[in-house]
Amino acid sequence: MNQWIISTIFLTMSFSKFTSEIPVRPDDIDMNNHVHFSRYLDYVLAARFEQMERDYRMSMEEFTARGLGWVVSGCTVQYKRPLVLGDVAIVKTGIVGLGTSSGKVGFEIIRKATGKLSADGIFDYTLVDIATGRAVPLTEEIIQRYSI
């Protein structure tokens, strides 16, 4: 899945990709002496949290202050090569499509030392009203701020 797929039901535009570096920690390692599969998802979530503030200039705290939150409604991951203790993961993410109340974020996790792909995939996010837990439409402001 090296190319991020854009669904035809989503608003398709050209979106930027952003990069974060995450060092592999000892508590990321599983009994097979490499990063546990679930930690790859954590790496993407941590990168997106950082990138929301740094690159989009609309942090998760700003969404929360508005009574909104992003929830993961689906995720697909393809594991290619393991990361191990001492590695640094380069996490590249970018929006690949926006729907009425949702967004798709493509990602790649690359081992910094080799430049080789460790995992890639897509996260499906839904914007929700925190009080009700129900999906809410993306505002024009959100679409503009995230369409860089």
Q: What confidence tens digit (pLDDT) does each residue in 89-98 have? A: 999 999 999 9
CA atoms of 97 and 124, how far apart (whole Å): 10
Mean pLDDT for 117-134 is 98
The Cα–Cα gap between 31 and 11 comes to 42
For 75-88, write each residue's pLDDT tens digit: 999 999 999 999 99
pLDDT digits (tens, 9 = 90+) for 51-64: 999 999 999 999 99
Q: So where are the chain's domains?
A: 17-146
pLDDT band at 67 (very low <50, low <70, confident <90, very high): very high
Mean pLDDT (the chain, rounded): 92
pTM, whole model, 2 decimals?
0.88
Indicate if the pLDDT at residue 65 is higher than 60: yes
What's the whole-number mean pLDDT along residues 133-140? Answer: 96
**CATH fourth-level superfamily of 17-146:** Hotdog Thioesterase (3.10.129.10)
